[in-house]
Amino acid sequence: TFKKRCKSSGINAEYGGRSLLLGFRQPFKPRLLCACSGVPRTHPCNFGPAHFGDDAFFIVENEKRSVIGIADGVGGWRRYDVDPSKFTRSLMNNCERIARSTTTDVLNPVGLLQRAYEQMMHLKSPLLGSCTACIVVMDKEKKEVSAANLGDSGFMVVRGDVVVYQSQEQQHYFNTPYQLSISNDRLGVIQDRPSDADTTTISIQKGDLIVMATDGLFDNMFQQQIVERLKIIDRYAPTYETLKQAADKLAADARNLAMDEDYMSPFAMKAQHYGLNFRGGKLDDITVLLASVVNCWEEEDT
């Protein structure tokens, strides 16, 4: 398996009928060790293997790259008796399938999002809906991540206690993010393109943490609050259990703050910037995907 190949750390040579291990230090080859958590906005059981409420996500790991993605469905479609979660799950399922089957050396995150979106548009009976989306592709040879972020989901790269990068949300106007849509020409529906996504490429190091989340996290927790919850993770010897514990803590804290009517949340501060008299958190679906950059050659707890 891929995992077993990663853990190989030497060369086998036959000599006199015996197998000798010629050991040497392998160069750093990164992979992402991931854990995810979330809280649906309404019904506590509205979640599954790759979704929380109207949010959806995917994780792909292969020899060339690690790929993670997240999408947040636009709940306003329920006014038209449309389930927005079907749109996000379909988009993320398409992204996952394409990422798994792509064998070329380069996988562009905008191109991945474009192909997944086009597959949805070309269905005989296209799913109606809209969503934001964020895709991160880590190239294991170049040791860098390339990202495409459309809307107000996003990600942070944390190195030690320092945020070395945070994606910027894209808004048409307050609380109206950029979004991919299929509307059958319904009037008033915003329809942006994958090529409108904000893109970046960042070099990564062993021990870096990637925090990818929907706006249910970023609207309710400030950057420093998020970084503080990551301190339980041993950056150079992370385990799935500690990543999951941190992801659970972030999701739970964001949910509690979302329900605090006296809390001056990031969302409330943005509302006041636009002249709106609002205080408190923002109740929403919350999805948090934590990924630690680890060495592919080392024994890792997954």
Where the chain has pLDDT below 70, the residues are 1-25, 43-46, 48, 299-302
Strands 180-182 and 198-203: unpaired
Q: Give 142-178 pLDDT, tens digit per residue.
A: 999 999 999 999 999 999 999 999 999 999 999 999 9
What pLDDT, on the 0 to 100 scale, is given for residue 302? 40
Strands 51-52 and 55-61: antiparallel
Computed from CA positions of residues 202, 207, 208, 213, in that sequence, does the dihedral angle turn out positive or negative?
A: positive
